[in-house]
Amino acid sequence: MKPLEEARSEVLSSVGLLGVEQVPIWQGRGRVLATDVVAPENVPPFANSAMDGFAVRAADVSAAGSVLEVIGDLPAGSSTDIEVGPGQAIKIMTGAPMPPGADTVAKVEDTSTEGSKVTISTAVQPGTSVRPAGGDVPKGQVVFTAGTRLTPMHIGVLATIGVGQPQVYRRPRVAFMSTGDELTPPEAVGLEPGTIRDSNRPMLLSLLEDAGVEPVDLGIIPDDPDVLRDALRRGSEADVVVSTGGVSMGDYDVTKMVLQGDADVGFWQVAIQPAKPFAFGHIGDALFFGLPGNPVSVLVSFEQFTRPALLKMQGARSTLRPQLVASAGETLETDPEKTVFVRVFVDGLEEGLPTVVKSGGQASNVLSAAAAADGFAVVPRGTSVVERGDPVTVEMFKWPESREWTDGR
């Protein structure tokens, strides 16, 4: 059996970078920057008011109770050449550019007006409530480096600096299929005896979308070598082919039968649980991932091999899920021969450390326990038991949102 790390580095070493294209930021979510982004403009582009109030000279408001002459009005979106002279003020709204001469804003709550006069009730320090030009992002600064995967916040920043078409890596096209004579589409009415719902394919579609790829659904493929061969051929026109099922030791493990003659696909036993059987290689120019059939094994092998590969080919700097060190909230007994992925959720905080407990049954068909989990507690090979209170690394695939686990802060 291959250890996890060896299997993963073997997979990743055969992954190359895809080409580069420009996309409108409107379609940028999840795309990976192919170049550093340098700010072509200052953000904000001009010094402006952080408050509704009066633009003044600091020297005029160094003491409480100064009375100034209001000489103009500046709503956001307007600008003026009129200079604020000594003893003068311009009424200004949040976001409006600071008029010449003024260096400070007295907020409206600290003022009272009568006719053309405004009284500033407090002393105001120079520069108060003024947002300087370039105070957020100065022109010429490297804002994001190549390899950054764009979140909604990155997209907002690209918009503020006027980068509407960033250079990003192309999205891989990924053809995917479920194999098995027992599979019934999830939307079918009723189940024939002996059949089950195809849960892998909709889950895979979702996992693929989350990894930023362009999915191509090849559907449910029966355990028929000719049909499978044809599906694999069609799939190989994509960048990547992902199948589930048929890579194990059974009599009807057709994926294995069809591909075994092909020297370019290896059938591996990876020392992980779940998801020990796993096939990897090339079909034509496409990378091939033959995931096992059981849904939790699909999830684990996708997370450990396919997702990192898909992110690597898109140029992402970081290809692994965020990890945290948690405290085991209960005893975890695992197979010391394998790296074991235990479905857990964060249950609370103990002395500042999150505690995790199993989210349900741990058999490889129990997908409900994966839906209830926040991540996988990763119990390394060589360990047979994690005692309650021991530290354990957790790969978080989502952040707890429906459970209270903060300590009240």
Tokens of 275: 């998801």
Residues 164-183 within binding reach of Mg ion (CB under 5 A): 180
Of 7-15, 197-205, 328-336, 341-349: span binding ligand AMP (CB under 6 A): 197-205
Q: How far apart are CA 370 and CA 343, in angstroms?
A: 6
Partner interacting with residue 212 (select from ligand AMP, Mg ion, none; CB below 5-8 Å by kind): none
From candidates 53, 246, 329, 375, binder to ligand AMP by CB under 6 A: 246
Instruction: Considering only the C-alpha atoms of the chain, give the largest distance between any 2 of them, rounded to a whole number of Å.
Output: 93
* b/e 170-208 (16+ beta carbons within 10 angstroms → b): bbbbbbbbbbbebbbeeeeeeeeeeeebbbbbebbeebb
Choose between 80 and 200: whose C-beta lies nearer to ligand AMP. 200
Residue among 11 and 291 whose Cβ is closer to Mg ion? 291
- Minimum CB distance to Mg ion smaller for 179 or for 319: 179
Contacts of 255 (CB under 8 A, 6+ apart): 179, 228, 243, 245, 246, 247, 279, 290
Cα 177 versus chain centre, distance: 24
What's the DSSP call for residue 149? B
When asked if residue 290 is in the footprint of ligand AMP (CB under 6 A), the reply is no
215 contributes a contact to Mg ion by CB under 5 A: no
Give me the residue whose beta carbon is nearest to ligand AMP.
293
Q: Does residue 196 touch ligand AMP according to CB under 6 A?
A: yes
Beta strand residue intervals within 151-285, DSSP E: 167-169, 173-179, 183-184, 196-197, 214-221, 240-244, 265-269, 272-273, 277-283
Q: Which is nearer to ligand AMP, 182 or 330 (CB)?
A: 182
Task: Answer with the entry of ligand AMP, Mg ion, none that 178 interacts with (C-beta below 5 to 8 A by kind).
Answer: ligand AMP
Shortest distance, CB of residue 197 to ligand AMP, whole angstroms? 7
The interface partner of residue 196, options being ligand AMP, Mg ion, none and the CB cut-off 5 to 8 Å by kind, is ligand AMP
Rounded Cα distance between 289 and 132, Å, is: 53
Q: Assess 250 for contact with ligand AMP (CB under 6 A).
A: yes
Could you tell me if 345 and 359 are in contact, meaning their C-beta atoms sit under 8 angstroms apart? yes
Q: Looking at 180, 281, 354, 375, which residue binds ligand AMP (CB under 6 A)?
A: 180
d(CA 382, CA 184): 40
Q: CA-to-CA distance for 16 and 212, rounded, in angstroms? A: 16
Residues 270-299: x where in contact with Mg ion by CB under 5 A, - otherwise, as a string: -----------------------x------
| Smallest separation (angstroms) from Mg ion to the CB of 181 | 7
Min dist CB 251 to ligand AMP, Å, is 10
Nearest approach, Cβ of residue 267 and Mg ion (Å): 14
Contact 43, 137 (CB under 8 A): yes
Answer for the pair 358, 322: CB distance below 8 angstroms, yes or no: no
Give the list of residues 6+ apart from residue 381 with CB closer than 8 angstroms, or none: 3, 4, 271, 336, 337, 338, 339
* C-alpha–C-alpha distance, residues 50 and 117, integer Å: 22
Identify the residue among 245, 329, 354, 400 touching Mg ion (CB under 5 A). Answer: 245
Q: Minimum Å distance from CB 233 to ligand AMP?
A: 20
248 binds ligand AMP per the rule CB under 6 A:
yes
CA distance 356 to 327: 6
Give the residue, chosen from 246, 281, 295, 308, that forms a contact with Mg ion under the rule CB under 5 A: 246
* Footprint on residues 206-245 left by ligand AMP (CB under 6 A): 244-245
Residue (96 or 299) nearer to Mg ion, CB: 299
Residues that bind Mg ion (CB under 5 A): 180, 245-246, 293
Residues that bind ligand AMP (CB under 6 A): 178, 180, 182-183, 196, 198-201, 244-246, 248, 250, 292-295
